[in-house]
Structure 1
Amino acid sequence: MSPRPHFLVLTFPFQGHIAPALRLARRLLAAAPDALVTFSTTEHAHRRMFPSTKSTDEDNNDDDGDGRLEFVPFSDGTNAGYVHGGGGDAQAFNAYMSSFHACGARSLGAILDALAARGRPVTRVAYTLLLPWAADVARARGVPSALYWIQPVAVFAIYHHYFRGGGCAAGVVDAHRGDPSFVVELPGLPPHAVRDLPSFITQSTDPADPLHSCFTTLRDLFDTLGRETPDKATVIVNSCQDLEVNALAAVEAAYDVLPVGPVLPSAGNEAGIFKQDEAAKYMDWLDYKPADSVVYISFGSLAAMGKEQLDELIRGLEDTGRPYLCVVRKDIKAVLASEVEIDEGVKKGMVVEWCDQVSVLSHAAVGCFVTHCGWNSVLESLTCGVPMVGLGRLSDQRMNAQLVARHWRVGVRAEVDGDGVLRAAELRRCVEEVMGDGEAAAEVRRMAREWKQVIGAAVGGGGSSDRNLMSFVNGTTSA
């Protein structure tokens, strides 16, 4: 008798990784009513997700009540973990990553063995990026694995050409790293300026770089994918077919790629490592605003912000003359509290520490999203049909901002000044470009509505993403 399908969803302990991983776990449960799912991140992140849980040594966190979903943390070898968005810095991150791989791999092996001993053997491991060792541990135990890519397929394709392209792509990028305007042409992809490529291959290749460990981990990840033989490695992607037709074609010969997204949260099931403000506080406020009138601004879970940048943001938002909802994380407030009164200057808007972003973007009052262009935020905005002002800085964000503005034409890209600050006048200009009365703004809003329809069809019953998810659940790789 075959074991019951059991997916282990493993994720790095960043909010931007935890959110799509947990959403995937719930999608798997819905797609396969007979399946089991175990969700695993580090012990420290687990405690932040479930602060009322007294022990992380037992898989006692089934919040669905039927035993199908369990939360089992793995050890990263530390007592506190790496705290992002709350005191960690880049140098500390490199030090953390140096021990993370070995400890995580040992702990994952122990989890797989313990689940098998309990009569719940894992039949498939799905792991997010920055966890290349997960595939090796699974392979050693005869368990199939799949990379869950939580960035655009276009970014995956660029990394593929850089790390597995025979040295040609890497040589071109490395030779022109100091020329941000140099245009790189890669097989199957449109030309990209160096400034728009993922920062981990344009800034972090030097061992002295504060985020060098991200570069080496991605290199290891693509080496791991290349060891998946005799079959091609399976990569499930939080994107959809129609969004990235050309990028998918650029990698289909090397990998079995299944776009299953956008993977969004189900109602009331968005656990994370940040405590949200009371929803009524901002949702009631939105209820009293006219349709498409509110500017929503959030730079995600990692971006730092100094006093000068916060001042410019508030000034720019006020200068638009439009109501706005601005997210300023608790850790940013803690750093700035002695220097600035956060709500000083706020007349037309509301400032919150964290919120249910999908609920906000789904609200009829929201007409624009000023975003750091993290992939989760971009997908949520696309799905809700909200135009964007993009400000990408790190990792895939610059590429995402370019896709938003040039490829899908659902927003504009903001530029920072020589000090790296988004100035009030630039923010005001960009907001007007997507919310104003001109033809260009009307076209951006029209494209946002069109992509909302396309994505809705993909994730709906029988759509391309729905079919791909079922293919993955059923153990096949054909769309």
Structure 2
Amino acid sequence: MDSVKAEEASTLYHVVAMPLPGRSHINAMMNLCKILASKTNETINIDIIVTFVVTEEWLGFIGAEPKPDNIRFAPVPNVVPSELVRAADHNSFFEATMTKLEAPFECLLDRLEPPATVILADTLMFWAVGVGKRRNIPLASFWPMAASMFTVFHHFNLLSQNGHFPLDVSANGNELVDYIPGISSIRLVDLPSSIVLRNQKMLNRILEAFSWVTKTQYLLFNSTYKLESQAIDVLKADLPMPIYTVGPTIPYFNLGKNYLESNNHNHLNHIEWLDCQPRSSVLYISMGSYLSFSSAQMDDIAAGLHDSGVRFLWVARGETCKLKEICGDMGLVVPWCDQLSVLSHSSIGGFWTHCGWSSTQEAVFCGVPLLTFPIGMDQMQNSKLIVEDWKIGWRVKQDVRGESLVTRKEIAQLVQRFMNLESNEMKEIRTRASELQQICQQAIAKKGSSEMNINAFIKDLSKCNGR
């Protein structure tokens, strides 16, 4: 009788998650952990607890947010530059994450009960691989950006071999690169931005992180297989460890659960306003929370929106009063919104985005066409996916050198065309966006590719070190 009970008892798995301490990385990792935590006692006879490691600063930002009972926070000291100065000194921030977090993280592992079953680390936190090896703890590497972006760094040596590194975007930005496996022909200007490829120290750190990937036991991609199948198939053939596409790791599980009310925000007037607008008539605008445009460009965007006569909802942190004055009364300018709830609203007909990967995935999940205005990092390549590969949007800016402003007249004309529900060109884009929405939502549904990959990852944990 006792042996039968032992066989039926669930096995406890302790996932220790170490995101890079930046907003998009933390959000993606937390959403993945919430999905993993939800799998507890689901047919696979496994109980999962998650320890989510953040700096003390980030614990102050997110510590009160709702989360499952089987996820707990564990703080480490603030050894990286604060959120307030990060955008101005990205180099120091990145170097600190690579060099100063390892020691406090390893000390934290000594205090955890039960001991860690697996370390789930952001791919860029490559030092976690060494920590896992020293302690005989399996390491699962999580890449929170597009698989296509991973592929570029994985095959980075090809850029040098073909004379395309170092980059000179101002001279040959329109030149096409067609030799990266799994990546369709791409302009030089759409490769990872100058913030990375023109910063040798940062680039060296990123390439060092990629050199450690083959020493991990698992690799998880924040992507939907059918949206990036060519890149993912190439990586599966090249890399030795099992690869799981588990995206989109966006908070779709919060939709319809009164999350807005429980999130303690007092800006819900925009939802009431959206309820009063015609179907697909509102352009949602968000430029992200990290990098930013010049003040002159922001003024032209606001003036162009005013001239377009199009309804809009603009999330503009810190500049709401000034922009409201320029924009007029056709829309709302707010400091915050729950983006996924807004994008899923029936009145939203388009999304002007900086092309962060989370925003990109949320738009695809909701079937919303995109106006792309990338600023830096991986955003140029995400814009290329949206416009050229998926064909669900247009670029706002055509100048590859990135020096000139997009004028208010150009913006007004573009927005009017983009939000014209009757035009054939937009009907094609909206049809394609709906098709990709189905692909994305099917992936997370029962027996969908992402849902099955998450289950496979959890089951495979039992095969490592007999844990």
State the shift of 1:98 in Å: 3.3
Structure 1 residue 107 displacement after superposition = 1.1
Q: 1:15 to 1:286 in 2, by over 3 A?
A: same
Q: Is the 8 A contact 1:20 1:150 kept in 2?
A: yes
Secondary structure at the aligned position of 2:76 is classed as coil
- Tell whether the 8 Å contact from 1:238 to 1:260 is kept in structure 2 after alignment: yes
Q: Structure 2-normalised TM-score?
A: 0.86
Distance 1:136 1:397, change over 3 A: same
State the alpha-carbon separation in 2 of the partners of residues 14 and 143 from structure 1.
25
Segments of 5+ residues of structure 1 without an aligned counterpart are: 53-60
How far 1:63 sits from its partner (Å)? 4.7
- 1:244 paired residue among 194, 218, 228: 228
| Corresponding position of 2:340 | 358
Q: Find the counterpart in structure 2 of residue 204 from structure 1.
A: 196
Task: State the alpha-carbon separation in 2 of the partners of residues 63 and 469 from structure 1.
Answer: 19
Query: What's 1:321 paired with?
Result: 309
Change over 3 Å in CA distance of 1:190–1:96 after alignment to 2 = closer
Normalised to the residue count of structure 1, the TM-score between the two structures is 0.84
Change (3 A) 1:147 1:425: farther
How far is 1:102 from its partner?
Answer: 3.1
| Among 16, 31, 50, the residue aligned to 2:39 | 31
Secondary structure of the 2:37 match is helix
Match of 1:372 in 2: 354
Task: Give the match's secondary structure for 2:371.
Answer: strand
Contact 2:224 2:440 in 1 (8 A): yes
Distance 2:150 2:327 in 1: 42
Match of 1:46? 59
Change (3 A) 1:468 1:29: same
2:410 to 426, 433, 436: 426
- The CA deviation string for residues 215-271 of structure 1, in whole angstroms up to 9 with x for no partner, is 23311211111334xxxx522111111111111112112233211111221328999
**Contact 1:146–1:234 at 8 Å: present in 2 too?**
yes
Residue identity over aligned pairs, in percent, reads 28
Match of 1:393 among 375, 381, 388: 375
Q: Within 2, Cα distance between the matches of 1:477 and 1:402?
A: 39
Aligned positions, number: 437
Partner of 2:443: 458
Counterpart in the other structure of 1:57: none
Match of 1:73, as an amino acid? P
Please say which of residues 137-146 and 426-435 is displaced more in the overlay. Answer: 426-435
Is the aligned partner of 1:181 residue 2:163? no
Query: What are the Cα deviations for residues 23-69 of structure 1, in whole angstroms up to 9, with x where unaligned?
Result: 1110001123311011112221111223x7xxxxxxxx9953x4x21
Aligned mates of 1:477, 1:203 — CA distance in 2: 40
RMSD: 2.7
- Are 1:297 and 1:369, in contact at CA under 8 Å, matched by a contact in 2? yes
| Distance change in 2, residues 1:217/1:41 (3 Å) | farther
Determine the structure 1 residue equivalent to 2:3.
none
- Secondary structure class of the residue paired with 1:12: coil
Counterpart among 274, 283, 295 of residue 307 in structure 1: 295
Structure 2 residue aligned with 1:414: 396
Report if the CA contact (8 A) 2:86-2:93 is conserved.
Answer: no
Distance 1:322 1:468 in 2: 42
Residues 351/440 of structure 1: CA separation in 2 closer, same or farther (3 Å cut): same
- Partner SS, residue 382 of structure 2: helix
Change in CA separation of 1:398 and 1:450 when aligned onto 2, cut-off 3 Å: same
Q: How does 1:43-442 map to 2 (within 5 A)?
A: 43-50=56-63, 63-64=67-68, 66=69, 68-77=70-79, 81-83=81-83, 86-90=84-88, 92-115=89-112, 118=113, 120-162=114-156, 167-172=157-162, 173-174=164-165, 177-178=168-169, 179-184=172-177, 185-199=179-193, 202=194, 204-206=196-198, 209=199, 212-228=200-216, 233-255=217-239, 256-265=242-251, 266-267=253-254, 278-330=266-318, 340=322, 342-415=324-397, 419-436=403-420, 437-442=422-427
1:122: Cα distance to partner?
Answer: 1.1
